Structure 1
Amino acid sequence: MEAPLTLIKKARVYAPDPLGEKDVLLCRDQILAIGEDLSFHGTVPLVREVDARGLMMFPGLIDQHVHMAGGGGEGGFHYRTPEISLSHITTAGVTTLVGVLGTDGITRHTRELLAKANGLALEGVTTYIYCGAYQVPTRTITGTPRGDIVMVDKVIGVGEIAISDSRSSHPSEQELAELASEARVGGLLAGKAGVLHLHVGDDDAGLSVLFHLLRRTELPREMFTPTHLNRNPDLLQHAIRYGKEGGFVDVTSGIRPDAHDHVSVKPSQAIRRLLDAGVHPRLITMSSDSNGSSPIFDDRGRLVAMGIGSIATLWEETRDAIVQEEVPVDVAVSMVTRNVARVLKLGHKGRIREGLAADLILTNDRFEIRHVFAKGRQMVEDGKPVVFGTFENVHRVPGSPDIKGAAGTVNPERGRLMMAAGEDHPDDFPEAAERKRKSRRHYCC
């Protein structure tokens, strides 16, 4: 029987504001108490104690852009990216994630995304989704975005709708206004965020359509969350302007310079530039774009390389913002916790406080993730996953964490893996596990 109480002793707590050394008591999925020296007297059954001396505690990360059911497809069916696994999520320090569809709104559907979100929730993390895909009119379950937000518990907004991208349906300003109104009213009726989550591509227009839309309508700026804003320096300048005007700006941790990408701005450096330009820290967020495809096109629009995003980059770039760019710890951590909770109106997430969700990560002084708690349950211990998804085989499933690198460190094998278009990539499925026959059985598939 799992202990209903967990007492974490002597951690340096960032809530994300620094609280100093504290004990934190978890009761199932909530934080029950925070104090200088919490202890039990007499016989208290089923209490698990975790020694956190020398470790820092942060709220569990909230990733608002994850292709949890897979994505991609640019380049052909063999470039469809795989679903994400539970231990891949937890070893990255993520305890809450929002699922999205992307380019492919044909072979993938919001229903499929909802099913995956429900599965991950049963396995131990908190999940939400956006209805929709790149295209306008967009993909829904009930027939309208407003209906999805009101009638489907996990749907908290619309996204990712593509603008300024050759793969988008090039929505007009009026079409975006109508879609934003659907999200806005749906959110009001259901008591949800009702955000419009916008994929912003490489086109020179950048955020121009959003600037025009906000000048023409009374739609609140805080309901729009444009993302991928570090994909090139010109777009980052648009993001600076948008942020200084009071809009939320989302940096993508999975978009960073590599052998194929010579134009993107490293996420930690993009955060530093936004802050130096005067964007208020509470308006800056970061998400991973995990398990989405990362196609690289040449000037003629031809595919030259394809990658897949990694959720591990979210904490890697947060750490780099702290260590390399000298962003204060509480400010950097807020961008992947408290700020995201504010955008998504998740009042019980993103902070360490009595009565809020028992989602926590503990790191060492090098900001390497050592322990992760999601809904009060320990998912990662000493840097290794201890809870796995239903069908996970941690030693063989591609993308799952293994012993090659500690969680929270830069690991190129888990990063934005790139492969040249046209190269042969044989299937790499795990071999069937040996089965012990205890009785006569028949297997059907």
Structure 2
Amino acid sequence: MHTLIENGEVYAPARQGRRSVLLAEATIAAVGRVNRHALESLGVEHEVVDVEGCLVTPGWIDPHVHLLGGSGEQGFSTQTPEFFVDEIVRYGFTTVVGCLGVDTTMKTMPGLLAKAKALEEEGLNARVWTGGYNVPATSILGSAREDIMFIDEIIGVGEVAIADKRGMEPEARELARLMTDAYVGGMLARKAGVTHFHVGEGKRRLEKLRQVLDEFEVEPSWIYATHIERSEALMREAIALAQQGAAVDIDTADSDLAHWLRFYLDNGGDPERLTVSSDASINSPRAFAEQVTDCIVNHGMPMEQVLPLVTSNTARVLKLDQKGTLERGNVADVLVLERDTLAVRHAWAKGRCMVRDGELVARAGWLAESKREVVLVGDESPARRTGEPVGA
């Protein structure tokens, strides 16, 4: 089955103007002029979706999601629930990368991998970081290198904690060994092999990473540091690190993405080395999407400046081949957004329609035989803030 998306303004993520996008099963077959009559004359089964007045973009990528839920740092009852496909794709995310954090005891690598596989079965693209805050890294096969090499979904090590009282305070040599293990595993398996660092609120900030780079044969490009928006001092250090070739990430756990994005760019940050993530556990995909759209709709930032932070930049850093851009041969992860609000009108992941006319099509696999009724709306959720009916 082919899907012809017509009359939309394409951002691929660079602006390409009014073009058609042809999906052939799970692949983008064409971006540009597509002759509908030729498809009909050839007898190609196809659906035409007219998106006049809308924007067409690549599906968005979230590189840091606690798919099994958060650890609950105020006791067992404060653990947050796992994420389901509908909550993710409803807001335009077609690819997620799951991670463990401080808790690698109750939240396990086999459990995280199983969750990623479930999301894949339900239509999303799902990858995984091996490890957690601790060093040595928690793994499935015995080492980070083996996990990266032999488990398809695992792309690197993370989130390894530095400058955080909950971390293991690893020595620079230990970090260098772990980063090299990840790099070699990625090199041998044609994966990213980067180490994803959780940067805490500690006063040493990125000091440990600078030490590793100074004292060992470690490349800046092996580093992918997140939570860099904690302070101006940390942000300035992250800008310097990115200028050396590392990748850095701003999370959206707090509602200040526009501020920190402007700070990063105004102070010489390399826009191609920056990504944005949700750190979703307490945070949500919806809140992440709203902050991204807020930068464009309410703060006047150009679409071409913001969109790569959740598409092409992320795909490049994580070596997610054939993702993050709209071009022939890539995976058919495509969004159609309302021009004025950037709300999701349609979404396809791997060519499968997940959202149609603003209504969710995707369903969690367990629903078919379940008698459960699950409606969870956090006290700090956007739905509460906007006064929407609970469960809407």
- Whether 1:314 and 2:288 are equivalent positions in the alignment is yes
| CA-CA distance at 1:348 after TM superposition | 0.5
- Whether 1:412 and 2:386 are equivalent positions in the alignment is no
| CA-CA distance at 1:396 after TM superposition | 4.6
- Whether 1:7 and 2:28 are equivalent positions in the alignment is no
Q: Which runs of 4+ in 1 moved over 4 A?
A: 392-396
- 1:28-427 alignment to 2 at 5 Å? 28-40=25-37, 41-42=40-41, 44-256=43-255, 266-291=256-281, 308-365=282-339, 366-392=341-367, 396-399=373-376, 412-413=382-383
Query: Residues 414, 250 of structure 1: CA spacing in aligned structure 2 closer, same or farther, 3 A cutoff?
Result: farther
More helix by share: 2
CA offsets 1:331-369 (integer angstroms, 9 cap, x no match): 200011000011011120000001101001111122111
Query: In the alignment, residue 320 of structure 1 is paired with which amino acid?
Result: D
Q: Larger deviation: 28-37 or 387-396?
A: 387-396
Kept in 1: contact 2:220–2:244 (CA 8 A): no
What are structure 2's unaligned runs of at least 5 residues? Answer: 386-390
Length-normalised TM-score, structure 2: 0.92
| CA-CA distance at 1:71 after TM superposition | 2.4
Query: Residues 394, 370 of structure 1: CA spacing in aligned structure 2 closer, same or farther, 3 A cutoff?
Result: farther
Query: Residues 289, 180 of structure 1: CA spacing in aligned structure 2 closer, same or farther, 3 A cutoff?
Result: same
Query: Residues 400, 47 of structure 1: CA spacing in aligned structure 2 closer, same or farther, 3 A cutoff?
Result: farther
| CA-CA distance at 1:254 after TM superposition | 2.1
> What percentage of residue pairs aligned between the two structures are identical?
38
Rounded to whole Å, the distance in 2 between the matches of 1:414 and 1:167 is: 31
Rg comparison, structure with higher value: 1
CA offsets 1:94-145 (integer angstroms, 9 cap, x no match): 1011110011011111111000000000000011101101111121001111
Equivalence for 2:388 = none
Kept in 1: contact 2:377–2:383 (CA 8 A): no
Kept in 2: contact 1:272–1:321 (CA 8 A): no
Counterpart secondary structure, 2:294: helix
Q: Larger deviation: 208-217 or 34-43?
A: 34-43
What are structure 1's unaligned runs of at least 5 residues? Answer: 257-265, 292-307, 402-409, 416-429, 431-445
Rounded to whole Å, the distance in 2 between the matches of 1:156 and 1:97 is: 12
Counterpart secondary structure, 2:290: helix
Rounded to whole Å, the distance in 2 between the matches of 1:179 and 1:378 is: 40
Rounded to whole Å, the distance in 2 between the matches of 1:395 and 1:120 is: 19
Counterpart secondary structure, 1:12: strand
| CA-CA distance at 1:414 after TM superposition | 7.4
Name which of 17, 20, 39 aligns with 2:17. 20
Matched residues, number = 380
Kept in 2: contact 1:231–1:255 (CA 8 A): no
Counterpart secondary structure, 1:335: helix
| CA-CA distance at 1:222 after TM superposition | 1.5
Kept in 2: contact 1:361–1:369 (CA 8 A): yes
RMSD of aligned alpha carbons? 2.1
